Structure 1
Amino acid sequence: MLSSNDLALIKIINSHYFIKRDNIVSKIEHKGRILYNKFERINEYLSPQIMKEHAEGKIVVAHNLINAADKVENIVFDYNGINAERFYHRAQLMLREEGFINFTAYTSKTRGHLHLYIHKGHTAFSEGCALASKLSAMMAQRMPVEWRVFPTLDLPREYNILALPYEVYQKERGAAWSKHM
């Protein structure tokens, strides 16, 4: 289970959260597509007890990437490929090259899948989407695309959520490395 320090790295918006239901909660039309949402928004504080239930596998909890001020704190790669170690190695090299020195990879529910949080700080939603697309395109030049990137304009705002991570895979805090930039 993650410690509160590990979760503090990604600055989770804890004023509300989403719980995955077995049935369809809502139907959303976006850019000519109909999407069926299985996550229900709960307008309560994301408590340690809820996070513990998620970690134990009793429920699936997701957090919002967009805060009330229309800002994002993180750019996230949701890697769903077969070689997480290779993906993380390539991603960390690319991110360092681009000047990003604070990022953390977490394991997700499925073995071998990662959520790579790039800690950007207060960034406007549209700017975050543009940066996410740019980083994804740069990464796509180096390896086959086996990920989705968030935030994105390709999905409605209600879909710019991610399940809470389970464990830290690796973290990069580049204070020592940044002197070489």
Structure 2
Amino acid sequence: MVEKIEFRNRTFYAKFEKINQPLEKQIIKEHLNKKITIASPLIKDGYINNLLLIYKGDDGAKFYHIVKQLFTAIKIEKYYILKGKSEKHIQVFIPVHKMDLDEATKKLQVISRSLELKLPLEWQTLPNINLPIDYNIFTLPYEIYE
């Protein structure tokens, strides 16, 4: 049975089955072999420790280079660019320290507006204040994007 989530007069359905157990080597191996998909929450105890950009466009190389230039310009020094499930799926993680949802939203809006000047809108940002907490999740990446 799929979990139904009511949020701001909208209905969402859980994308993943919630399993409350530690990750084991075999589970991670199945994820890396793309037999299953593992997701993790971005919001824990009301705080965010990572901001996330998820790119799903046709020009990952261009996105990669523009993100690197933008982050240098706005002085974001620590970030990780990783591959998602497909070649068109790139995840950019920006570590932050115990940021609340409103502050995270503002920071992501600044980043997104800057990207919009250079690229068509083919990404999403998380966490997203317009989504329920259970939808502010990310799938574990598969490898480093280079």
TM over 0.5, shorter chain: yes
Q: Which residues of structure 2 form unaligned runs of 5+?
A: none
Residue number among 31, 41, 52 corresponding to 1:54 in the alignment: 31
The total of aligned residue pairs comes to: 146
- Shift in Å, 1:80: 0.2
Query: In 2, Cα distance between the equivalents of 1:87 and 1:157?
Result: 27
Deviation at 1:120, TM superposition (A): 2.1
Unaligned 5+ segments in structure 1 are: 1-23, 171-181
- The structure 1 residue matched to 2:94, chosen from 118, 122, 143, is 118
Q: What secondary structure is seen at the aligned counterpart in 2 of 1:119? A: strand
Deviations 1:132-178 (A, max 9, x none): 122112211221110000011111100010111000004xxxxxxxx
Question: Which structure would you say has the larger RCO, counting Cα contacts within 8 Å and 6 or more residues apart?
Answer: 2
Deviations 1:105-149 (A, max 9, x none): 111111222001112232122211221122112211221110000
| Secondary structure of 2:130 counterpart | coil
Aligned AA for 1:91? V
**Ranges of 4+ aligned residues in structure 1 off by more than 4 Å:** none
Q: Is the 8 A contact 2:101 2:129 kept in 1?
A: no
Q: Any conservation in 1 of the 2:83–2:144 contact (CA below 8 Å)?
A: yes
Contact 2:47-2:98 at 8 Å conserved across structures = yes
Map 1:43-122 to 2 at 5 A: 43-68=20-45, 70-122=46-98
Q: What is the one-letter code of the residue matched to 2:145?
A: Y
Query: Given the two structures, how large is their TM-score scaled by the length of structure 1?
Result: 0.75
In the alignment, is residue 37 of structure 1 matched against residue 14 of structure 2?
yes
Identity, % of aligned positions: 32
> What corresponds to 1:158 in structure 2?
134
Give the C-alpha shift of residue 42 in structure 1: 1.3
